[in-house]
Chains A and B, each alone.
Chain A
């Protein structure tokens, strides 16, 4: 059992080492353009948004409601929980030109929108 605990500790250490290495190498796309969305009364504001195609960008989604939301879009490959009164930073793209729908999974009836990637 002690041996196994040691192995566990080793695995954990390795994991941390890998994670810190990744952090050090991170922070790409710092200069990416930023777009903002707000969720209010379980609706997106604005409900449609145009972003540049073929480019990585940052989407900041602010949840102005008191209850949690889950920003989800299969097209964008995003699934992110946003607590009430908080905002989420989502890194998206590069996208092919086209329309990408998104919803608040917790309030799909009202909270839905479309992101349009245009130009190159």
Chain B
């Protein structure tokens, strides 16, 4: 029971942190609940499918299928986050100025909500597939259903609680600053995912590693709970390859520059606190 509780907690915790950030980045956006729930449902279905075909995926591409698959979905999530961030840079000012204005802009909001729903789906798909496989193994190994269910429920509750705490903490930030904070968090998330994707392609021998930049596993192991949290949130790695660090920094710098380039000029007439749309 403890084993299943621990593993479920770990995976739910990691996915939950990502979902917590996405939720806080979309505070006040109309109908976000449906989008996020849709992404979550898609992620759950995907997790079951991935678990079902894990053998075939693993043996595809001379045994590199799992790495390439992981790199692919992480890459998609990173692109979605980048898209959302650039959109926010363009419209965030208006949103922070007047949250109600956003209600009239659902059509615009929908695009970025789709992006974030995909991110939620990917987070759940990745962590969920591991949970499904693990629980299947336990069930097949003859562990009692009660212990399995109890442990999973415990893990789910713990992971969900951590996500809820992060969300509560973030939305306590005043609206004006909230989007600045979540944009930074989402940028770090995107860079971390892109870096991890590069790491998977290195592991598959499809890209060169460019050496190992540092080894901080003695101080903060990637497998400790803090290490896991930082891994999920900002892409922390205790032994990153040179390529992983390079991709991370390039994505971060790229998002920052794209955000600055697309941000509207601060000057301009405002009507009732809402920037005029041209």
Interface of B is mostly: helix
Say which size band chain B's interface belongs to: 35 or more
Tell me whether A91 and B203 are in contact (CB under 8 A): yes
Q: Least Cβ distance of B75 to chain A in Å?
A: 6
- A55 adjacent to chain B (CB < 8 Å): no
Given the contacts A83-B55, A89-B62, A78 and B203 also touching, CB distance less than 8 Å: yes
Q: Residues of B contacting A88 with CB < 8 Å?
A: 58, 63, 66
Given the contacts A1-B110, A15-B75, A15-B79, A80 and B205 also touching, CB distance less than 8 Å: no
Tell me whether A83 and B54 are in contact (CB under 8 A): yes
Say which size band chain A's interface belongs to: 35 or more
Tell me whether A80 and B238 are in contact (CB under 8 A): no
Tell me whether B205 and A91 are in contact (CB under 8 A): yes
5 contacts between A and B (CB under 8 A): A28-B205, A66-B140, A81-B66, A83-B54, A84-B55
- Closest A residue to B221 by beta carbon equals A74
Tell me whether A23 and B111 are in contact (CB under 8 A): no
Tell me whether A106 and B221 are in contact (CB under 8 A): no
Q: Residues of A contacting B199 with CB < 8 Å?
A: 77
- Closest B residue to A3 by beta carbon equals B111
Tell me whether A4 and B137 are in contact (CB under 8 A): no
**B residues engaging A (CB < 8 A)?**
7, 54-55, 58-59, 62-64, 66-68, 72, 75-76, 79, 83, 107, 110-111, 114, 129-130, 133-134, 136-138, 140-141, 199, 201, 203-208, 217, 221-223, 238-239
Tell me whether A67 and B141 are in contact (CB under 8 A): yes
| Given A1-B107, A80-B66, A81-B133, 20 more pairs with CB closer than 8 A | A1-B111, A15-B79, A19-B72, A26-B205, A29-B205, A68-B136, A68-B137, A74-B223, A77-B199, A77-B203, A81-B58, A81-B66, A82-B58, A83-B54, A83-B55, A84-B55, A86-B55, A86-B59, A89-B64, A106-B138
